């Protein structure tokens, strides 16, 4: 055997180099929230589609209800066959998930992934789950000894980051979004996009400075409307972010939050499903109905509100209160059509900070509330981690398989002289 040592050393150096560059892509910082009870909470994942996917396919990646994905993004569910609508590659969406307490920390472990041919742990982590999980975390969660041997059809647990922080932020109701930092992001930009402050983001994520690294996962507090359903209700703890909707009670009830009010507003959903009675007892008011009666003492407001779903029954509660002024008509968060094209907004969600200088500011309107359809179709994300996104199916295979292929190539190349 001629002089194996240098070979081994260089092999190790190269392997380490490959692993390090690989690690740089997959290892991410994320906020750890210790927990002790078995309560779970509603949370959101910020997910960027790795390829064109139907709404139902996105939902099945995370094993969530397709309708809840649509309502969480204020996408109009009245479009025909909306679950089979194809969402474009690189679209940024919020995925509603349940955040539990596992081994003393907050995480979501209800997502499973069935491996397909050509999958590697890195491609699953970096591409399919868009950096919300790392290859190492999947390996650990599934006690995989040899990541190079993945059986096709293997059912992997995909641990996903989430935080609850008691459903509040600075004493106000909040739901937390797990956001994967993109190369274009600044902390100021993220804060601006989600109507929070740099200080708040730093506090929530226990950061010592404002620097962020692509791949980091930040917990972003979103202002929300909280429910007050009893413990025995199956939707106890429902919390809906400002500007969006949630569907509950077996698709019978839809609740919304904002604009202009922090009160959760629920009413019968328009979906064609059979539901238990939504009429308040001893009244002719239906869920969501509000009647007002002006008197000298003020405004007598009577409302029939939703109070949770228990044992297949919709709980309603009738309440009257005297208020100084009569409320105006209920306002609803604006709905958007199912996205078909990538807009600058959806790619850059969140957009860079208005005050941050440079190329981006020149092209992004100051108040970047561009509607999510119709503008700048197919705009590529500048600085997207893996080059062109024009062809999603090839993107996944070539980009995600690259590090693994490199390792195999190097192994083959370096092991062969050793075995001589
Ligand atoms: C969580 O919030 C509730 C009110 O929403 C409060 O009563 C409780 O003390 C909080 N718990 C912690 C640990 O902050
Ligand atoms: C909710 O969002 C709207 C517009 O998106 C905003 O004007 C309003 O201030 C927000 N409300 C809260 C309580 O954050
Ligand atoms: C009560 O709510 C139902 C269902 O949302 C609605 O169709 C009806 O118009 C409402 N009636 C009043 C008086 O607001
Ligand atoms: C308010 O109206 C409801 C029904 O319309 C009535 O039962 C209640 O007594 C009224 N309350 C006041 C303070 O007028
Ligand atoms: C739920 O419904 C079943 C049958 O409909 C009944 O036996 C049970 O007592 C109910 N449970 C509660 C908590 O109401
Ligand atoms: C993507 O690639 C496939 C096959 O490689 C091809 O059939 C398809 O037309 C391409 N799509 C686009 C949008 O280029």
**pLDDT digits 0-9 by tens, 2-15:** 444 444 444 444 44
- Is residue 331 predicted with pLDDT exceeding 60? yes
Query: Nearest residue CA, atom 11 of ligand 1?
Result: 166
Rounded to the nearest 5 degrees, what angle is found at the Cα of 57, between the Cα atoms of 176 and 106? 25
pLDDT of 57 over the 50 cut: yes
Closest ligand 2 atom to Cα of 172: 13
**pLDDT score at 130:** 97
Spans of all domains in the chain: 8-26+405-419, 29-223+336-398
The dihedrals phi and psi of 200, each to the nearest 5 degrees, come to: -65, -45
Alpha-carbon distance of 361 to 352, in angstroms, equals: 8
Among 166, 204, 236, 238, say which to mutate for ligand 1: greatest number of ligand atoms within 8 Å of CB: 166
Question: 164 C-alpha to center of ligand 4: Å?
Answer: 39
Q: Which of the residue ranges 135-139, 165-169, 346-350 would you say has the lowest mean pLDDT?
A: 346-350
Residue whose CB lies within 8 A of the most ligand 3 atoms, among 269, 277, 278, 286, for a mutation test: 286
**182, 180, 164, 261: which is closest to 221 by C-alpha?**
164
User: pLDDT at position 56, please?
Assistant: 97
Q: What is the pLDDT of residue 28?
A: 54
pTM of the model: 0.76
Interatomic CA distance for residues 217 and 219, integer angstroms:
7
pLDDT for 5 = 44
Pairing of strands 172-180, 41-48: parallel
Considering every ligand atom, which ligand is closest to the CA of 285? 3
> What pLDDT shows up at residue 383?
30
Compute CA 350 distance to the chain's CA centroid, rounded to the nearest angstrom.
Answer: 13
Whole-number pLDDT of residue 410: 40
Say yes or no to pLDDT of 17 above 70.
no
Q: Is the pLDDT assigned to residue 138 strictly greater than 70?
A: yes
Query: What's the gap in Å between 280 CA and the centre of ligand 4?
Result: 15
Q: Is 9 helix (H, G, I), strand (E, B) or coil?
A: helix
């Amino acid at each position: 055997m001629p002089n194996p040592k240098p070979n081994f050393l260089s092999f190790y150096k190269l392997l380490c180099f490959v692993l390090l560059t690989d690690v740089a892509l997959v290892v991410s910082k994320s906020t750890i929230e210790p927990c002790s009870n078995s309560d779970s909470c509603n949370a959101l994942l910020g997910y960027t589609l790795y390829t064109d996917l139907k709404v139902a396919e996105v939902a099945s990646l995370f094993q969530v209800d397709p309708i809840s994905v649509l309502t969480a993004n204020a996408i109009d569910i009245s479009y025909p066959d909306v679950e089979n609508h194809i969402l474009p590659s690189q679209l940024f969406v919020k995925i509603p998930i349940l955040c539990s307490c596992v081994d003393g920390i907050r995480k979501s472990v209800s997502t499973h992934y069935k491996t397909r041919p050509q999958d590697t742990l890195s491609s699953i982590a970096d591409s399919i789950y868009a950096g919300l999980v790392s290859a190492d975390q999947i390996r650990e969660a599934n006690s995989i000894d040899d990541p190079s041997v993945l059986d096709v059809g293997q059912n992997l647990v995909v641990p996903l980051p989430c935080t609850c922080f008691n459903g509040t932020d600075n004493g106000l109701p909040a739901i937390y979004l797990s956001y994967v930092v993109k190369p274009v992001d600044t902390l100021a930009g993220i804060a601006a996009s989600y109507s929070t402050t740099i200080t708040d983001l730093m506090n929530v994520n226990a950061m010592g400075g404002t620097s962020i690294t692509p791949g980091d996962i930040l917990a972003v507090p979103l202002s929300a409307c909280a429910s007050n359903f009893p413990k025995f209700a199956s939707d106890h703890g429902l919390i809906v972010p400002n500007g969006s909707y949630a569907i509950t009670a077996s698709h019978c009830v839809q609740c919304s939050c904002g604009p202009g009010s922090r009160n959760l507003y629920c009413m019968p959903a328009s979906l064609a499903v059979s539901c238990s009675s939504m009429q308040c007892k001893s009244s002719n008011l239906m869920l969501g109905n509000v009647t007002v009666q002006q008197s000298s003492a003020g405004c007598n407001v009577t409302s029939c509100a939703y109070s949770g779903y228990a044992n297949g029954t919709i709980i309603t509660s009738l309440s009257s209160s005297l208020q100084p002024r009569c409320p105006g008509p209920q306002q609803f968060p604006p709905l958007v059509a199912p996205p078909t094209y990538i807009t600058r907004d959806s790619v850059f969600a969140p957009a860079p900070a208005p005050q941050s200088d440079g190329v981006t500011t020149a092209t992004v309107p100051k108040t970047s509330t561009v509607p999510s359809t119709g503008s700048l179709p197919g705009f590529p994300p500048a600085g997207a981690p893996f080059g062109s996104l024009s062809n999603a199916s090839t993107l996944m295979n070539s980009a995600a398989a690259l590090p693994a292929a490199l390792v195999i190539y190097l192994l083959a190349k370096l092991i062969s002289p050793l075995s001589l």
